[in-house]
Copies of this chain bind each other. A is one copy, B any other.
Amino acid sequence: MVALNLNKDVVTLTAALVDIESESLDEQKIADAVEAQLVKLTHLKVERDGHTIVARTDLGRDQRVAIAGHLDTVPANGNLPSRLEGDLLYGLGSCDMKGGVAIALRLAKQLTDPNRDITFVFYEGEEIAHEFNGLGRIAREKPELLAGDFAILMEPSDAIVEAGCQGTLRFDVIVRGERAHSARAWKGSNAIHSAAPILHRLVGYAPRWVEIDGLTYREGLNAVGISGGVSGNVIPDEARVTVNFRFAPDLDEEEALEHVRGVFDGYELEVTDSAPGAMPGLDVPAAVAFIEAVGGEVKPKFGWTDVAQFTQLGIPAVNFGPGDPLLAHKAEEHVPVDQLVQVEEKLVAWLTA
């Protein structure tokens, strides 16, 4: 097992986490490494569930804050191992979100006597279908582990608080045809050719820009997969376009589904994944107080994050982490060293003031 050293600086620790490959559904190694360090810390109660780890102080403070980060990444894209170039740490997950995980691990080690009780959550399965999400499983099966007054998701947010998050809906648009030998195509019906109007609708789609609580959310409707074909000389009888709809938090899941049913009117739809957005909640005192403590600036969150899971449990939550969210899932993913340092300093200050 890889031994993490929580006494090392945050950049070294982030690099060590990046170098433990942890594509979704393959988180055992990184979860083992994280758990091994946390169980050494006597001020924390550690509980593991699958490859998700919850570690809590129990100091009887007035308030409890959850600090959460996912351990998994999207598939590698020629961006491993980590490498430091000047003031930037490059590598798969450096930005989304092993930088945030490194900070949380260092907080867990350092803050033996924080001013609020803290619940650290390190979890699996965030980058794939919602059903695999470790935080979601805990929220459903052991919600008492997540109880608290406020939550911070350490998703990349450029070291600025991001409020709310967009919802996500994933579905297949299906077209059917009839098989025939490709030398006599006119005897069948080509399902791949029949998928042309689906792509056409995607290309022509004009996404909404939605303003809520002074923040502007930006929607998106995109093919993330396409498949079809039986063999090299058969006219295919089925084609599927997998589409991801990212919707502003003024729509609930049902309204989002209704909207895409309209866009793909006349086609068969098969929903494979759905998760609600979260309203920014900038009227909640705990959120406003935290935003003021770490600098006052706030932006909308475009991506879906587990902020939505906390808000569904009635816990106000924001995103606050190092790294440019626009770099997540890109080959050149990286995190600036100064943001790693800044975010850690701001959280330490807020939790020890």
Contacts and interface: CB of A to CB of B under 8 A. Distances in A.
B220 A182 contact: yes
Interface in A215-266: 218, 220, 222-236, 239, 241-242, 244, 246
Q: In which size bucket is the chain A interface? A: 35 or more
B225 A329 contact: no
Nearest to A182: B244
Contacts of A190: 202, 222-223
A192 interface: yes
A224 B177 CA distance: 12
Contacts of A225: 192, 228-229, 232, 236
What secondary structure prevails in chain A residues at the interface with B? mixed
A223 B129 contact: no
Interface stretch (A13-21, A34-42, A193-201): A193-201
A244 B233 contact: yes
A166 interface: yes
A195 B24 CA distance: 28
A304 interface: yes
A70 to B, nearest CB: 13
Interface in A161-191: 166, 168, 170, 179-188, 190
Interface of A: 24, 74-75, 77, 96, 127-129, 166, 168, 170, 179-188, 190, 192-193, 195-196, 199-200, 202-203, 218, 220, 222-236, 239, 241-242, 244, 246, 272-273, 302-304, 325-326, 328-331
Given A74-B234, A192-B225, 9 more contacts: A74-B233, A181-B325, A183-B246, A183-B303, A192-B223, A192-B226, A196-B202, A223-B236, A227-B227
